[in-house]
Amino acid sequence: MKRLVVVAALCLGLTAHSYEKIIGTLTSTGTSVNQGTTAVPFSLPSSVCNLTLAVQCDAAACVRVGSGSSTTASCTPGNAAKGVVVTAGQLYDIPLSCTGANAVDTLAMVSVSGTANCDVSLVVTGP
């Protein structure tokens, strides 16, 4: 029984905590923008090993990871551009890695209609 209590105490003490920090906002009025061309430019972290970006928009937008531009056509199902439509209020998580398919140096978006503002947050998880 003592072992069970010790194991439970250790497991409960090792829970991970996470927080989000908004690093910028992508604002589009129908033209493609990325983190360098939006109204208030911002930088993606240079070291993105095993982190997550979270994108949340106030209106529908087409988001592309790893590309300097986005079009609404890039969000058409089956399109090789692999854009994702993020609806108003939806939280879109983008897991990142240091290299390979999930390495990100550019994040682009375009509003589907009218103006869209997409907050980009860095999600940090740790003990």
Strands (E), 1-127: 17-28, 33-34, 52-57, 61-65, 84-86, 91-95, 107-111, 116-126
CA separation for the pair 102, 99 (Å, rounded): 7
Average confidence (pLDDT) per 10 residues, the chain, 127 residues: 44 57 93 92 73 91 84 80 88 74 71 93 76
Q: Is residue 54 part of a domain?
A: yes
Q: Is residue 6 part of a domain?
A: no
Domain containing 88 — which CATH number?
2.60.120
* List of residues 6+ apart from 75 with CB closer than 8 A: 62, 81, 83, 84, 85, 112
Q: Is residue 5 part of a domain?
A: no
Q: Is residue 8 part of a domain?
A: no
Q: Is residue 79 part of a domain?
A: yes
Task: Map residue 55 onto helix, strand or coil.
Answer: strand
User: Which pLDDT does position 47 carry in this prediction?
Assistant: 61
Q: Is residue 7 part of a domain?
A: no
Name the token pair of 34.
Answer: 């990325």
User: Which pLDDT does position 124 carry in this prediction?
Assistant: 76
User: Which pLDDT does position 59 carry in this prediction?
Assistant: 95
Q: Is residue 28 part of a domain?
A: yes
User: Which pLDDT does position 10 carry in this prediction?
Assistant: 41
Q: Is residue 32 part of a domain?
A: yes
Structural domain of residue 69, as residue ranges? Answer: 16-126
Residue 120 and residue 20 in contact, taking contact as beta carbons nearer than 8 Å: no
What is the number of residues in the chain?
127
How far from 68 is each of 44, 72, 99, CA to CA, in Å? 13, 14, 18
Structurally, how many domains does the chain consist of?
1
User: Which pLDDT does position 58 carry in this prediction?
Assistant: 96
